[in-house]
Amino acid sequence: MNIVFIDDDKNIRNLYRKIVETHFPDITEIYEAGTVKDGIELLRNVKADLLVLDIDLSDGNGFDVLQAVKPYSFSLIFSTAFNEFAIKAIKFSALDYILKPLDSDEFCAAIDKSIAIIEKSNLETQLMNFFEHYEKKNDSKKLVLKTSGELHIVDINDIIFCNSDNSYTTFSFKDSDDIIVSRSMKEFEDILSDYNFFRPHMSYLVNLNYIQKLDKSDGGFLILKNGKKIPVSQRKKARLIKILEEL
């Protein structure tokens, strides 16, 4: 495998190189660039299997690089200091990322994941979704759900509720089969809370548009339009009632 680092911090690139040389003997060639211009030129002239791309570069950003090198023939890991909008868009699109300051264990885990599952054919679809969220091109939001063998692009408005089972989350929809992904409920709560979703119980995340009524008996539970009953925890009940009253 060949790996490319595009980051405007030479110390970060040196650290990436050191970690890869120490832990990944199957990566035979390491290339690097520090600007948008040099990154585009590099990717056009070498065969990259994996790209580690900084979002914020001195002469632009990593998205400028990606727009210039289609079609994609590599897997991608974004790297970023905290960028709220970018991270949310990344999560919506099921892309991989690492946060700065760099944690070497997280970096190794991200590379291991990319090596184990090379999904080049999905990258363009995921990035299209990413750019729509990041650039706020439209109000029809899509969420990418990545299972072991498939990539599902779903309309957020079609999600009725999510159910958590340890590190797995099951999505239930209005008119289609359930989808199970190996990501935690907390990740989805973070990105869906702005889209009329509420977590009434530690195991459930509910689209408020599908609530039929709140039954206050037996501790309290929601009844959804499809008849599903969702438990409501005591500590969430008062807040939920207030939200429902304001709908």
What is the tens place of the pLDDT at every residue in 192-214?
A: 988 999 999 999 999 999 999 99
Is residue 125 very low, low, confident or very high in pLDDT (cuts 50, 70, 90)? confident
What per-residue confidence (pLDDT) applies to 44? 95
Residues 6 or more apart in contact with residue 133 via CB below 8 angstroms: 88, 89, 92, 93, 141
Mean pLDDT for the chain overall: 89
What per-residue confidence (pLDDT) applies to 139? 60
Give the mean pLDDT of 96-115.
Answer: 90
Residues 129 and 24 in one domain: yes
Q: Say if residue 137's pLDDT is above 90.
A: no
Which neighbouring-strand residues pair with 52? Answer: 5, 77
Is residue 121 very low, low, confident or very high in pLDDT (cuts 50, 70, 90)? low
Give the mean pLDDT of 74-103.
Answer: 87
Is residue 119 very low, low, confident or very high in pLDDT (cuts 50, 70, 90)? low
Give the mean pLDDT of 16-26.
Answer: 94
Residue 239's domain spans which residues? 142-246
In total, how many domains does the chain have? Answer: 2
Residues 107 and 189 in one domain: no
What per-residue confidence (pLDDT) applies to 2? 93
- Residues 226-235: contacts with CB within 8 Å, 24+ apart? 226/160, 226/174, 228/160, 228/161, 228/172, 230/161, 230/200, 230/201, 230/204, 230/206, 231/200, 231/201, 231/203, 231/204, 232/200, 232/201, 233/200, 233/201, 233/202
Residues 128 and 13 in one domain: yes
Comparing 31-45, 74-88, 226-240, which segment has the lowest mean pLDDT? 74-88
What per-residue confidence (pLDDT) applies to 117? 65
Handedness of CA 235, 91, 81, 106 (dihedral sign): positive
| CATH at residue 239 | 2.40.50.1020
